[in-house]
């Protein structure tokens, strides 16, 4: 498990997510490819992804932020992390 990457750059977030996806799905993911259209996301993996994002980037993803659109691609997840870090970054 990596240490918290809070307040990091979009590139670092994106690369970290791609690495995690590679380790869990055994395939590489371009940042704009739809993970959910691929059928690779099992019910267990959907939750793992949420928990991984929370733990790695020290954010809480709650309520409407759990909408599937926020997790659809690496880019979407990166946007989510940046937005949530901004909101909590006091």
Q: Of 68, 57, 50, which Cα lies nearest the Cα of 12?
A: 57
Closest to other proteins by CB, 14 vs 52, is 52
Give the interface segment with other proteins, choosing from 8-16, 56-64, 81-89 (CB under 8 A): 56-64
Residues 56 and 5: beta-carbon distance below 8 Å: yes
For residues 5-34, which are near other proteins according to CB under 8 A?
Answer: 24, 26
Residues 71 and 77: beta-carbon distance below 8 Å: yes
Binding region for other proteins (CB under 8 A): 1, 24, 26, 36, 41-44, 46-52, 54-55, 62-64, 66-68
């Amino acid at each position: 498990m990596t240490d918290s990457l809070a307040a990091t750059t979009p590139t670092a977030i994106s690369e970290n997510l791609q690495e995690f996806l590679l380790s869990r799905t055994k395939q590489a993911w371009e940042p704009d490819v739809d993970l959910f259209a691929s059928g690779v996301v099992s019910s267990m993996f959907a939750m793992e992804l949420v928990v991984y994002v929370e733990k790695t980037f020290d954010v809480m993803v709650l309520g409407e932020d759990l909408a599937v659109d926020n997790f659809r691609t690496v880019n979407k997840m990166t946007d989510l992390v940046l937005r949530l870090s901004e909101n909590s970054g006091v």
